[in-house]
Every structure is written in C-alpha cells, then in structure tokens.
Amino acid sequence: MTLLGKLLAGNERFIAGETTAKNTAELQASLVGGQSPFAAILCCADSRIAPEIVFDQSLGELFVCRVAGNIPTPEIVESIEYAVGHLGTTLIVVMGHSSCGAVTAALQSEFVDGLFAQVALAPTRDLDDCIAHNAEHGINAILARSPMIEDAVKNGVVQIVAGVQDIASGRFELVAQTQLG
C-alpha cells in the first residue's frame, strides 16, 4: 500500500467508526528518542480539524503544521522542509476543509496584506470552489518556496497532494496531486 493509500484507508476507518490507532504510554515512550513521520500535513488551525484522528494515525506518524487557511507561509514551508530533509517524510498533504472561516474571510474582504491576503480564491468565488482551489494552490506555493522540495518531487522522492475534508462526514477528498517520477 502506498503512503497516500495508508492515509486514505485511515480516513475510511474513521468514517466507518472503526479506528485502530492506539496512542499508548509504550508508544509515547518509544518516540522519546526521535520521530520518523511518513507524512507532513499542512492543515488549517480550525479546532474541528485533527489529521491524526481523521486519518486514524498514531503518535509519530504525522508531522502536522497548522495555520489559518492552510497557507504555506515561509515558516510552514521551512517546517515541511525539516520533515522531508531531516525526518525522511516522503508525503506532503495540503488539507483544506469545508466551512473554512479563513477562506470565508478572504472572500468577504479585500485583504491587501497579512495571512488572509494569501488565500488563493477560485475565479467562481463559490466558497467550496475556493476552499478546494486554495488547497490545490498550496502545492504550487510549497514548490515555489522550496527548491529542496521541488527537487525531491522532480526526483520522485516526495509526493504532494491536496484535498478537502468535509467536516460533516469526515471524508477527505483529493483535489490535486503531484506525480512521482
């Protein structure tokens, strides 16, 4: 199973209410010496979004970076570079979500600077379209800000995907992905 398949299978378990992740004291103790997460997740800071739960993954498996609107700021991209370059992470996920307040704020106001000015709005100006477009745009923003990650993607070492989680159902749907190799 691919790493992306592992995440999507975890999402299916979450939706079905059949989660298997176990976060025990023994697991926590085993992680004291280090970490090797298989995926880095860039998601919104929204309190209704929890990648470890939505993808049914245990401690140490996901390197999660959170910021309103899942914007790949320079700090976020550097954090993801750390996951790829130092921890061996080979999958990056840009995770948007339904009813995103940051995207709603960007749609309702014309921000000229700051975080919400970086939200990538779709031409249709429909909230759901904008949420998906913003997540997909995150791939290009990461690649543009990180020559190291861009090279890793070009060399087939790292894959970046974007998707949107529906808060009501919990389902994560892919909207875009880079191709390996």
pLDDT tens for 60-84 read 999 999 999 999 999 999 999 999 9
CATH number of the domain at 3-16+36-177, out of 3.40.1050.10, 3.20.20.70, 3.40.1440.10, 3.40.50.1170? 3.40.1050.10
Q: In the predicted model, is pLDDT for residue 20 greater than 70?
A: yes
Q: What is the pLDDT of residue 5?
A: 97
Q: In the predicted model, is pLDDT for residue 163 greater than 50?
A: yes
> What would the mean pLDDT of 132-146 be, rounded to a whole number?
97
> What would the mean pLDDT of 41-68 be, rounded to a whole number?
97
Closest CA to 69 of 121, 134, 132: 134
- By CB atoms closer than 10 A (0-12, 13-18, 19+), residue 69 is buried
> What would the mean pLDDT of 167-177 be, rounded to a whole number?
96
Q: Helix, strand, or coil here: 92? A: strand
Q: What is the pLDDT of residue 109?
A: 87
12: left (phi over 0), alpha (psi -120 to 50) or beta: alpha
Q: In the predicted model, is pLDDT for residue 135 greater than 90?
A: yes
Q: What's the mean per-residue pLDDT of the chain?
A: 95
Q: Give the global pTM.
A: 0.95
- Tokens coding 69: 């609107």
d(Cα 161, Cα 92) in Å, to the nearest integer?
6
Q: How long a stretch of residues is the chain?
A: 181
- By CB atoms closer than 10 A (0-12, 13-18, 19+), residue 167 is middle
Q: In the predicted model, is pLDDT for residue 181 greater than 50?
A: no
> What would the mean pLDDT of 15-26 be, rounded to a whole number?
92
Q: In the predicted model, is pLDDT for residue 166 greater than 70?
A: yes
